[in-house]
Amino acid sequence: MDYFPSFVLDESEAAPQEEAAALTHDFPADDEALLDAYSKSVTRIVEDVGPSVVRLDVKRGDGRSGGSGSGVIVSPDGLILTNSHVVGGARRASVTTLDGRNLSGRVLGDDPDTDLALVRVDENVTLPAARLGDSKRLKPGEIAVAIGNPLGFDSTVTAGVISALGRSLRSNNGRMIDDVIQTDAALNPGNSGGPLVASNGAVIGVNTAIIAGAQGICFAVAANTARFVLGELVAHGRVRRAYLGVGASTIVLPRRIALRLGLEQTTGAVISQVEKDGPADHAGLLTGDIVLAVDGAPVASAGDLLRLLGADKINQVAPLDILRRSDRRRFWAALRERV
């Protein structure tokens, strides 16, 4: 875009012209193209995923209203992922779709440890479903779009980027949620339980929380954790998992140490908290230890650690490969079922 007329200006005339151009907010052509591409990307994401986002109105056992939130349809027959704190222990929820349909739903399962819950629509209908992406492939700086349906008949949208991966967040029951995505895509009231979506249209997380007083810091439970919880809730109505008694987050391994020890993985799960008298405490694990493997299976993230502590590990003594300072060590933990 040309800022000046075609005739030549001397230096005294050019400066006022430049100021005037700045005041009109003209952008170079390449900047306009980038802004246009970003806008189109966000618009396409909303068009693709928006119809899969629903409003949930929770019904208590006594018939009274129990609040509301958002959810995302993850299968055409009416499976809906949302937050545990949205359903709040209720058995029933009213579901409002983007096109205005009012459906009834029942809570199939609730997992406060990950702040996730699963609702199934009662009616025999086919609904637009979003697809769960692979949150393990995400990188900080990628586009993230948070979508909610707090009022029904409409979607609310905020866009930003992924700020950090593998965070830990304390849930409402006091336990740590691992494998959490941090984003600056602000959560509007009622957006809890809605999807966090990548630029390819895949759901990469379920929006769960915002830090009060910390502008622009929001969190979503990663899609890989959501997929694991979804499978457990469908199969068992609850998530059976082995209890280790730690809080963890993903960390990059020091390259020098990884090369010296011959490690193929570049990341692990660093222990941020050890619960007193838990299996990890009895095994001798400490805050700052990095979990590299559980029973021989590599641990590259906090999400890997969560998934490897499945029902098959309950009442088992499992070997844990740990990086402590610069040494690889093995500890044995007597795992039990988390209740």
- The catalytic residue among 52, 163, 192, 301 is 192
What distances in angstroms separate CA 324 from CA 66, 286, 328, one per listed residue? 47, 9, 6
Tokens 């609040």 label which residue? Answer: 67
Q: Read out DSSP for 159-189?
A: EEEEEEEEEEEE-TTSPEEEEEEEE-SPPPT
Distance separating alpha carbons of residues 298 and 9, to the nearest angstrom: 67
Selection from 124, 110, 120, 134 nearest residue 54 by Cα: 120
Q: Is 101 exposed, middle or buried (0-12, 13-18, 19+ CB in 10 A)?
A: middle
Q: Of 57, 68, 84, 85, which is the active-site residue?
A: 85
In the chain, how many H helices and how many E strands?
A: 7, 20
Q: Which of 142, 128, 219 is nearest to 181 (CA)?
A: 219
Q: Which residues of 82-97 are buried (b: 16+ CB within 10 A; e: fewer)?
A: bbbbbbbebebbbbbb
Question: For residue 280, which phi and psi values (nearest 5 degrees)?
Answer: -65, -40
CA distance 49 to 40: 14
Report d(CA 61, CA 103) in Å as an integer: 18
Task: Answer yes or no: 192 catalytic.
Answer: yes
Q: Which of 115, 178, 304, 321 is catalytic?
A: 115
The widest CA-to-CA distance across the chain, in whole angstroms, is: 84
115 catalytic per annotation = yes
Instruction: Supply the residues annotated as catalytic.
Output: 85, 115, 192
